[in-house]
Amino acid sequence: MKTKGCAYGTHRSIEPRGSLPQPAWKIDNTLDIWSNELLIDVDTLNIDAASFRQISASAQGDEGEIANIIMKTVSERGKQHNPVTGSGGMLVGRVAKVGKDWPNNVEPDSRMATLVSLSLTPLVIEEVLAVRPDTCQVDVRGKAVLFESGIYALLPQDMPEKMALAVLDVAGAPAQTARLARSGQTVVVIGAGGKSGLLCLFQARQKAGDQGRVLALEFSQAGVERIEETGYADEIIVADATNPTDVLDKVSAVTDGALADLTINCVDIPGTEMSSILSTKNGGTVYFFSMATSFTAAALGAEGVGKDVTMIIGNGYTRGHADMALECMRQQPRLKEIFSRAYVEKED
């Protein structure tokens, strides 16, 4: 075991040497851990949705080729850091080894999910066992390293691991929604029928209350049906989020021109920035959770249409976000049933 390394993992960066590991092109993924690192036996990678969509398109949907692209990326970069989207994902596995200077109390063999991006996590994939396009999850045999600063969650005993992994992957979105939404507000959730969108809808409903309005914007029929099943939305707007003028017209129509106080963007495809901005009133707030967001397009686009809105980058971490997201499942049987169908039953 090596001596103590940098808490943020700079000792692992190869190109450029000494940089933070997330922006680094290549990091050291050797498995001889430093004394303040954790070694994990990896079972499943939950690939970021924008990244998985890009990989799948490049592979023309072929699952074997998807596996090859992921293996190639990890081999070249020492981490699952998509060079096109810049995003990664997260993983679930079992604690294999604890460095003697690891700061937290965690036992070997504990089941855990990392809550930091695969784009900064040293990773070795020995074999891809299964690719599951419906859930953006990839079962592997491999190992990963967690830095001292890396956040993680021990997996709960009261729900299936696949469900917990799906929830924890997007835990930052509902936690930020709970922080931003206020009683009486009009909240628009774009991409409301996906896993992050559904969790955000729940938090928006809780925070906006009976005096507020929660509007769910979704394009797919399956997503619309999931939203209807929850009962969280006051109104469902069926629209393509890449068509900003159509979205504006529809949001304006259901709000009598007042627009949203808060807009949450959970869409995992590019080109939805202006729909979020135009849906929001001057003085309002836009939270971009999706890693498909171009923050240049958002900033210059808002300027171009004369919109004075506060725009928040989708930080995947909020203090207590993992517990909050898992508690959503425990409190809401309908939500748990939807996630069970999508992430558990489909895999059985």
> From CA 89, how far away is CA 50, in angstroms rounded?
10
N-terminal to C-terminal alpha carbon distance within the chain: 40
Q: For 248-299, write each residue's pLDDT tens digit.
A: 999 999 999 999 999 999 998 899 999 999 999 999 999 999 888 998 999 9
Contact indicator for 321, 327 with CB cutoff of 8 Å: no
> From CA 258, how far away is CA 251, in angstroms rounded?
9
Q: For 178-207, write each residue's pLDDT tens digit.
A: 999 999 999 999 999 999 999 999 999 999
Q: What is the average per-residue pLDDT within 211-240?
A: 97
> From CA 144, how far away is CA 123, in angstroms rounded?
4
CATH 3.90.180.10 in the chain, residue ranges:
172-320+326-335
Say whether pLDDT at 1 is over 80. Answer: no
170 or 143, higher pLDDT: 143
Say whether pLDDT at 316 is over 90. Answer: no
Q: How confident is the model at residue 85 (pLDDT cuts 50, 70, 90)?
A: very high
Q: For 104-145, write each residue's pLDDT tens digit.
A: 889 999 999 999 999 999 999 999 999 999 889 999 999 999
Q: What value does the mean pLDDT of the chain take?
A: 94
Residue 284 three-state SS: strand
Could you give the percent of the chain with pLDDT greater than 70? 99
Token pair in block for residue 180: 């931003």
Say whether pLDDT at 300 is over 90. Answer: yes
Say whether pLDDT at 347 is over 60. Answer: no
Say whether pLDDT at 313 is over 50. Answer: yes
Q: Which residues contact 62 (CB under 8 A, 6 or more apart)?
A: none
Q: How confident is the model at residue 240 (pLDDT cuts 50, 70, 90)?
A: very high
Topology annotation, domain 172-320+326-335:
Quinone Oxidoreductase; Chain A, domain 1 (3.90.180)
Residue 78: its pLDDT value, please?
A: 98
Q: Which of 325, 267, 312, 320 is nearest to 291 (CA)?
A: 267
> From CA 299, how far away is CA 347, in angstroms rounded?
40
> From CA 334, how far away is CA 233, in angstroms rounded?
14
> From CA 158, how far away is CA 239, in angstroms rounded?
37
Beta-strand pair 186-190/213-218 = parallel
Could you give the percent of the chain with pLDDT greater than 90? 85
pTM of the predicted protein model = 0.86
Q: How confident is the model at residue 163 (pLDDT cuts 50, 70, 90)?
A: confident
Say whether pLDDT at 50 is over 60. Answer: yes
Residue 348: its pLDDT value, please?
A: 46
Say whether pLDDT at 12 is over 90. Answer: yes
